[in-house]
Structure 1
Amino acid sequence: MKKNLEPVYYGDYLQLDRLLSAQSLQSSRYGEAAHEETLFIIVHQVYELWFKQILHELNSIIDVFSEQEVKDQQLTTVVHRLKRVISIQELLNDQIGVMETMSPQEFLAFRDYLVPASGFQSIQFKMLEICLGLKREFRIDFDKQSFYNRLEQSDRDFLENLEKKDSLFELTQKWLERLPLLEFGKFRFWELYRTATRQMLEHDEQIIRNNPTLSDKELRQELKELDNTRETFDALWDKEKFSLWQEQGQFRLSQKALLAALFINQYNEEPLFNLPYQFITCLTEIDEKLTLWRYRHAMMVQRMLGGKIGTGGSSGHEYLKRTTESNRIFKDFFNMSTFLLPKAALPELPAEVRSKLGFSLS
C-alpha cells in the first residue's frame, strides 16, 4: 500500500483557509451586514461544489460512451457513478429546504445588492445541462434567446464550443442504435410484439365499451383517447410518421434507439439486459430529480419574490415554472411506459437468441 512521504494536515489538504474565507457579504459594503446573506452565499457555493462533482462523474461517463464499444464492466462503473449523481441530486433538492428557512423580508434586506447577478450565470449548471443533452435548440423559446445573454464573452465562447460536442443523450442514442436487439434468424420480435399490442388494445376497447358507468360523452372521449394511443403505437413502425412526430417534439430519440430501449425495458429481468436497464433507469431518475429541483426552485422563488422579477432580469417564478416541464432531456424514457406490455403477454425469447446475445451488448 502506497504511503505519503510528508505528513498531511487536515486544514491544508482541504484548503480551509481559502474555503472558509470565501464568503464576502455584498451588503456589508453598503452598511450593516445582512445576517441571512451568509446562508445565501454558502448554499450557492455548496451547489457549485456539488455541480463540480456531478460534472466530474458525467465527464467520465461521456468518455466511456465516446468509445465505439461499451464493455459490461464499464457499464457497471457507469451505473455506479450515475447512482452517485442521483444521491447528490437528492442533497441538492433537500438543500432548498435550508434556503427556505430564510424569510422573504430577510432576503429583501440584501437582494437588491446582487443585481444583475443571477443563477443564469452559473457556468457549471449550464455545463451540466449541456453535457446531459439540454442544448440550446431543445430549450423553451425565451430560454433559447437569453441562454448566453448574461454571460461574459469568454464563458459564452466556452459553452458554445461545449454544445458542439456529443452530449450524454446523443451518445446514449448512438449506443442504443448499436444494440443487436431486434431480429435474430427466424425470430421476429417486433412482429410478435405488434400482434400482442393489437390484442391488448382490442381488449382495452372492449373494457371501455362494456363499462356501464360511462355516459355517451365519456364513452366517445375514452374511445378517442384509445385511438390516439393506437396512433402512437403505429408511429413506432412508420418511419415517416415517427419523423413527423419527432419534428413536433413527441419523440426525441431516433426510431431505432427508442425500439432498442423499449426492448430492454420489456425484458429488464433478463440478466443480460440488467445493466442496460439500470443505465436507462438512472438517466430517467436524473431527469426526474432535475425536474423536481426546478420545480422546488420555482416554488421557493415565488415564496421569496412573489411576482417580482429576478435579479438577472427574468420574469422570476413564471420563467422557472415554464422550464420545469419544458426543459426535459430523457422524456422518451418516461413515455416508454405507453408501449410496455404485461409480462404474461410478452413473446418469449428463444434459447438460441439468448445464446447468441450472450452478455455482450456492445
Structure 2
Amino acid sequence: MSDQTSTGESTDESFVSFGEQGAQLTYGSYLRLPQLLDSQHLESDPPAHDELLFITIHQVYELWFKQLLHEVTAARDAMLAGTSGGRLWWAQHLMARVHVIERVLVQQVDVLETMTPQDFLEFRQRLAPASGFQSVQFRELEFLSGAKDPAYLERFKGITAAEREHLEARLAEPTLWDAFLVALGSVGLPAGTDGEVTASLRTVAHDRDQYAVVWALAEALLQHDELAASWRARHVVMVERMIGAKSGTGGSSGATYLRSRLPVQYYPLLWELRSEL
C-alpha cells in the first residue's frame, strides 16, 4: 500500500489524478465539445428558429453514418476471413449493432417532422444548392452494402477530390455481399454463380443446426436491407409532407427521385429465397 499524506491523498508517484485537478482529459476535451458545439452555423438572416434543428438532425445523421461505416466495414472484413479466421460470430454481432443504429435513423425522422412546412420554408432557399443527395457517407454505405453506382460520381458536380477518393475506394473494394459469399465458401458451400448461391442458401435454410452462423448472417444482411428500405420509405414521406412535389434544393426532382429509390434491394437473392423455401 502506498504512503498517505495527512489529507488522505496518495504520495505514490504512480497515482494518477483525473479531471481538473490532474489536468487530464475532461468530458468536454475528450469529446471535443467546444469544436462540436461550434459546428452549427445558421445561414438564415434573421435567424429562423427551426434551422438549428435542421442542422443538428443532419449532423447527427452524418455521425451515425460514420459509425455505420465503421461497423459494416469491420463486419465485412470478419466475413472475408471466413471460418479460418474464426470471426463469423463477430460479423453477426456487429450487424446486430448496425440494425439498432438503423432503427434510430428511422426514428429520428419523427424529430424532424416536428418542423412545419412553413417553418422550413423560412430558410429552405438558403440551402441551395446543398442537398442530402450530396451525402458522401450515405453513398459509401450504399456502395459497401452492395448498391454500387459509379454514375453517382458524375452526377455529383460539387464533389471534392477527397470525397471522390473515398467513393472510388468503396467502388473498388468488396461489399458485404462479396464477403458473405466468401463465408459461404468457407463452410464448403458453392457460391460461384447465382444458381449455386441459391442452392447453397436452400441448404443452409434447411440445415440450420449445421449452418447456424451462416443462416444468422444471411438473416442479418436481410435485416440490414429491410431497415435501409424502411429509412428510404420514411424519408420520402417526410419530404412529401414537408415540401410536396417541389424539386430538391440540389436540383433533383425531390420526392419523385426518392420514390424511384424505394425498390432498391441490396440482396435480391436473399429475398428470392423466400419463394424457394
1:132-189 deviations in Å (ceiling 9; x for gaps): 111016xxxxx7586534423442243123201111112212332443247xxxxxxx
Secondary structure of 1:324's partner? coil
1:51-101 deviations in Å (ceiling 9; x for gaps): 11111111112222333x334841111111100000000000000011011
Aligned partner of 1:314 in structure 2 is: 252
1:247-275 deviations in Å (ceiling 9; x for gaps): xxxxxx7222222122112222x1x3221
Aligned partner of 1:167 in structure 2 is: 175
Aligned partner of 1:156 in structure 2 is: 164
Give the aligned CA root-mean-square deviation in angstroms: 2.2
1:303-337 deviations in Å (ceiling 9; x for gaps): 11111000111000011011011x21012212211
Q: What is the 5 A alignment of 1:347-358?
A: none
Q: Match for 2:238: what amino acid? A: M
Closer, same or farther in 2 for the Cα pair 1:181/1:155, shift >3 Å? closer
Closer, same or farther in 2 for the Cα pair 1:302/1:336, shift >3 Å? same
Aligned partner of 1:279 in structure 2 is: 217
Q: Is the 8 A contact 1:64 1:70 kept in 2?
A: no
Aligned partner of 2:28 in structure 1 is: 11
Q: Match for 1:168: what amino acid? A: L
Aligned partner of 2:205 in structure 1 is: 265
Q: Is the 8 A contact 2:77 2:179 kept in 1?
A: no
Aligned partner of 2:65 in structure 1 is: 51
Q: Match for 1:93: what amino acid? A: V
Give 1:35 shift. Answer: 0.5
State the TM-score, normalized to the length of structure 1.
Answer: 0.66
Q: Match for 1:55: what amino acid? A: L
Separation of aligned partners in 2, 1:167 and 1:150: 26
Q: Is the 8 A contact 2:153 2:159 kept in 1?
A: no
Aligned partner of 2:243 in structure 1 is: 305
Q: Is the 8 A contact 1:25 1:37 kept in 2?
A: yes
Which of 125, 131, 136 matches 1:123?
136
Give 1:287 shift. Answer: 0.4
Separation of aligned partners in 2, 1:88 and 1:301: 21
Which of 99, 105, 120 matches 2:118?
105
Aligned partner of 2:5 in structure 1 is: none
Q: Match for 2:39: what amino acid? A: A
Q: Is the 8 A contact 2:83 2:187 kept in 1?
A: no
Gaps (5+ residues) in structure 2? 1-13, 19-24
Separation of aligned partners in 2, 1:10 and 1:157: 34
Aligned partner of 2:21 in structure 1 is: none
Q: Is the 8 A contact 1:262 1:336 kept in 2?
A: yes
Q: What is the 5 A alignment of 1:189-204?
A: none
Closer, same or farther in 2 for the Cα pair 1:309/1:260, shift >3 Å? same
Closer, same or farther in 2 for the Cα pair 1:38/1:4, shift >3 Å? farther
Closer, same or farther in 2 for the Cα pair 1:43/1:299, shift >3 Å? same
Separation of aligned partners in 1, 2:165 and 2:85: 36
Q: Match for 1:23: what amino acid? A: Q
The yes-or-no answer on 1:337 pairing with 2:274 is yes
Separation of aligned partners in 2, 1:175 and 1:78: 10
Secondary structure of 1:265's partner? helix
Closer, same or farther in 2 for the Cα pair 1:276/1:34, shift >3 Å? same
Separation of aligned partners in 2, 1:309 and 1:146: 20
Structure 1 segments (4+ residues) deviating >3 Å = 3-6, 143-150
Q: Match for 1:257: what amino acid? A: V
1:271-300 deviations in Å (ceiling 9; x for gaps): x32211111101000000000100110111
Separation of aligned partners in 2, 1:267 and 1:314: 47
Aligned partner of 2:22 in structure 1 is: none
Separation of aligned partners in 1, 2:95 and 2:155: 26
Secondary structure of 2:262's partner? helix
Separation of aligned partners in 2, 1:161 and 1:148: 16
Aligned partner of 2:109 in structure 1 is: 96
Identity %: 35
Secondary structure of 2:261's partner? helix
Secondary structure of 1:180's partner? coil
| Higher share in helix | 1
Highest RCO, 1 vs 2 (Cα 8 Å, sep ≥ 6): 1
Q: Is the 8 A contact 1:136 1:147 kept in 2?
A: no
